[in-house]
Amino acid sequence: MFRKKIFYGWYIVGAALVLIIMDGLLLYSFGVFLPYLNEEFGFSLAMGSSIFSFRSLVLAFSLTLAGRLVDKYDPRVVVFSGGVITALGVLLSGLATEAWQLYLFYGFMVGLGDGVLYITGVALVSRWFIKKRTLVIGIITTGIPLSGLIANPLTAWLISSFGVRNAFFALAGIIMIAILSAFVLRGYPEEKNLKPYGEDDSNSNKKEPLNNRSQGNGDWKALEAIGTTTFWLLYAMYFFGFTTFLIVVIHLFNFATDLGILPIVASGAPAAIGVGSLVGRVMLTAIVTKILESRKVLLYCFLLQGSSIFLLIGIEQTWAFYLFGLLFGFFYSGTVPIFPALLARYFGLSALGTIYGFFGSSYSLAAIGGPLIAGYIHDITGSYLYPFLISILFCYIAASLTFLVKAPKRKQKEVHDIATISP
């Protein structure tokens, strides 16, 4: 008796999950580092937040570049190179003695290298899976909530036990070990003489890789996709949703400690976001999306994600922070895997890396403005009330945009042009 061989795409899923956990580690840990950096370097809250905003500005460029590189080159080389740059940036941040060094090491180097960690995984699993695509994207993007579950308590423990600088060194070491998973990656199933999971047997005679654009397979080119109203509506929804998410994640720890909650206890609220997200990924991507249309899932998730923030405004007690984290994480988690799945459904796979790389810049724009503006408002008012109200409003705006999204249609001339070049 022979055991059925495991489809290699599942190894891609495992490697992508590890890489996205590292991406989430960088995201969540900064909120814990922030008050300590502010104290050591004499930053205001807005000034400290601007380091994260600068990193996100660089990340906007990096995401677009990473998507393009993944479409053209071996993902093993792309990801490992980006991971080394990221780890080196974190390591050097632990040696920084001046503010400009933090901007260079954490802002520029981490922002430049980090772009490949998330984009690559989503693009690759979309190529390897036709059946269960939304599910596998949901699995790998659990890396972000998994990071939320461990990153804040881990970072808080490292800082309290060994100091801020040694915490940076430890995280750099963790990243270097994790990026070894890059060597598992392969760009297309054809490189392993396989077909995408779930591809019909009737297509088994197709030997060309999915990125061979000369075949006229009907997939959209990147510029075509970016020029559609549908793309920009999804882009705006992603921007508003992540502005809310990043304001909360970056400032929640500081908000809790301002209320006198002990740091190790305060780190539990972001961890609760991770727990809620893990549960939400399973229920909302594997179950609810089978019952409800994706845009309805987005509508309900954005509405309820925003509404959960009222717990922070109305009840300033530890149990409310933890309940908020569970609810906020649960509904946030439902939105993340739906966007790349919709992009793949609407525009095809040939240029998905480039399309999703540009799409990911909406996250960077949210990260540039959201935490910085929230920190500035707090510096002026001494309160997080208005930043949290803005966060609620942005989620509600994202929810309203779901009513406008529909599948894009090519102009007649574009369809004719594709037909004439088909063999």
39-61: pLDDT as tens digits: 888 888 778 888 888 888 888 78
Is residue 239 scored above 80 in pLDDT? Answer: yes
pTM, entire model: 0.68
Q: What is the pLDDT of residue 168?
A: 92
- Answer yes or no: is 295 within a domain: yes
Show the domain range for 111: 9-188+218-410
Q: What is the pLDDT of residue 50?
A: 85
- Answer yes or no: is 159 within a domain: yes
Dihedral sign (CA 329, 333, 336, 342): negative
Q: What is the pLDDT of residue 287?
A: 60
The string of DSSP letters for 315-379 reads --SHHHHHHHHHHHHHHHHHHTTHHHHHHHHHH-STTHHHHHHHHTHHHHHHHHHHHHHHHHHHH
Distance CA 79, CA 70 (A): 9
Q: What is the pLDDT of residue 398?
A: 94
Per-residue pLDDT band for 84 (boundaries 50, 70, 90) equals: very high
- Answer yes or no: is 227 within a domain: yes
Distance in Å from the first CA to the final CA of the chain: 44
Here the tokens at position 339 are: 């966007």
Distance CA 280, CA 326 (A): 9
- Answer yes or no: is 377 within a domain: yes
Is residue 16 scored above 70 in pLDDT? Answer: yes
Q: What's the structural domain count of the chain?
A: 1
- Answer yes or no: is 213 within a domain: no
Is residue 209 scored above 50 in pLDDT? Answer: no
- Answer yes or no: is 198 within a domain: no
Dihedral sign (CA 194, 200, 205, 206): negative
Q: What is the CATH number of the domain that holds 166?
A: 1.20.1250.20
Residue 256: closest CA among 404, 34, 92, 37: 34
Distance CA 40, CA 190 (A): 52
- Answer yes or no: is 4 within a domain: no
Q: What is the pLDDT of residue 41?
A: 86
Per-residue pLDDT band for 202 (boundaries 50, 70, 90) equals: very low
- Answer yes or no: is 2 within a domain: no
Burial class (CB in 10 A: 0-12, 13-18, 19+), 267: buried
Distance CA 25, CA 82 (A): 15
